[in-house]
Amino acid sequence: MRRLVSDWAMAASSSGEKEKERLVGVSVMAGIGSTRERLLSALDDLEVLSRELIEMLAISRNQKLLQLDEENQVLELLIQRDGDFQELMKLALHQGKVHHEMQALEKEVEKRDSDIQQLQKQLKEAEQILATAVYQAKEKLKSIEKARKGDPRRPYPTDLEMRSGLLGQMNNPSTSGVNGHLPGDALAAGRLPDVLAPQYPWQSNDMSVNMLPPNHSSDFLLEPPGHNKENEDDVEVMSTDSSSSSSDSD
C-alpha cells in the first residue's frame, strides 16, 4: 500500500501535473477493462489512500512531525481519485439504464424469432398442401387424357357403360318420372325383369292417367314393339282418355 502511495506521490512531485495525469489516465480514462473493474480499482485506491492519510495524520500528531507536503499530496490524490470514482459511478448508472433497454430489445428479438418460426411452419404446411394438390391435378389430367384417347383394346362402350350413361338413366323408371322406354331388344333378350318392361298408355288406364300429362296422350307417338295398325282398334277401345284423337281405325 505504501508503495502505491509513494508512486503516486513521486509522480505528483517529480514531473508535475502531466505525469500525474498520465498515471491517472492509464488507470481510469483509458477505459481498460469493464466499468466494474475500473470501479473496483478506483475503490481499492481510495481505500489505500484514505488509510494512508489516516495513518500519516495519526503518526504526525503522535510524534508531532510535520509531513505537510506528503500529507497534502496524499490528500490531493485522494480527492482526485474520488472524483474519478464519482465519474465512474455516473457512467455505471448510465450503463445500467442502457442494460434495461437491451433487455427489452432481447425480449423483442425472442418474440420476433417465435413469430418467424411460426410463419415458417405455416409456409411448410402450405407447401405440402400445394404439392399434393399439384400432384393430384396432374394425375387427373393424365386420366382425362387417357379417357379422351380411349382404350385401344375396346373402342366401343360396354353395356354397363351405356346403362350408366345419360340414355340409360332416362329410360330407367326408378329415376325418371315418365314411363321408361327401353329398347325392345333388351326385353326380348330377356335381360331385364318384367318390372322394367316398357309400360305403354293403352296397357293400363290408371297408368295413363297418372303417368302422362293431360291432353298430351295424343302426343305419345312411340309404338311398342310388334305394334301394327291392326291393333289400333284394340288400343283405341282400351284407352279411356277422351282427348285421344290420334288413332284412326280402318
Partner 1 sequence: MDKDSPDLHQDLNALKTKFQEMRKLIGTMPGIHVSPEQQQQQLHSLREQVRTKNELLQKYKSLCMFEIPKE
Cell of 102: 437491451
Residue 61 sits in the site that holds partner 1 (CB under 8 A): yes
Supply the DSSP symbol for 198: -
Q: Which helix (H) or strand (E) holds 47?
A: helix 35-63
Out of 16, 25, 31, 165, name the contact with partner 1 by CB under 8 A: 31
Inter-residue contact 79 to 46 (CB < 8 Å)? no
Find the shortest distance in angstroms from Cβ 108 to partner 1.
5
User: Whole-angstrom Cα distance, residue 69 to residue 71?
Assistant: 5
CA–centroid distance for 62 within its chain: 84
Q: d(Cα 9, Cα 70) in Å, to the nearest integer? A: 7
Site membership for partner 1, residue 46 (CB under 8 A): yes
Q: How far apart are CA 76 and CA 20, in angstroms?
A: 11
Please identify which residue in 1, 29, 43, 79 interacts with partner 1, judged by CB under 8 A: 43
Beta carbon nearer to partner 1, 72 or 103 = 103
Among 6, 27, 35, 247, binds partner 1 (CB under 8 A): 35
Helix, strand, or coil (residue 67): coil
Q: How far is the CB of 116 from partner 1 (least distance, A)?
A: 6
* CB of 48 closer than 8 Å to CB of 1: yes
Indicate the burial class of 76 (C-beta count within 10 angstroms; 0-12, 13-18, 19 or more).
middle
How many residues sit close enough to partner 1 to count as binding (CB under 8 A)? Answer: 39
50 interacts with partner 1 by CB under 8 A? yes
Cβ 56 to partner 1 shortest distance, Å:
10
Q: Which of residues 73-112 bind partner 1 (CB under 8 A)?
A: 91-92, 94-102, 105-106, 108-109, 112
Question: Is 137 a binder of partner 1 (CB under 8 A)?
Answer: no
Identify which of residues 102 and 188 has a Cβ nearer to partner 1 in the complex. 102
* Chain positions contacting partner 1, by CB under 8 A: 31, 33-36, 39-40, 43, 46-47, 50-51, 54-55, 58-59, 61-62, 91-92, 94-102, 105-106, 108-109, 112-113, 115-116, 119, 123
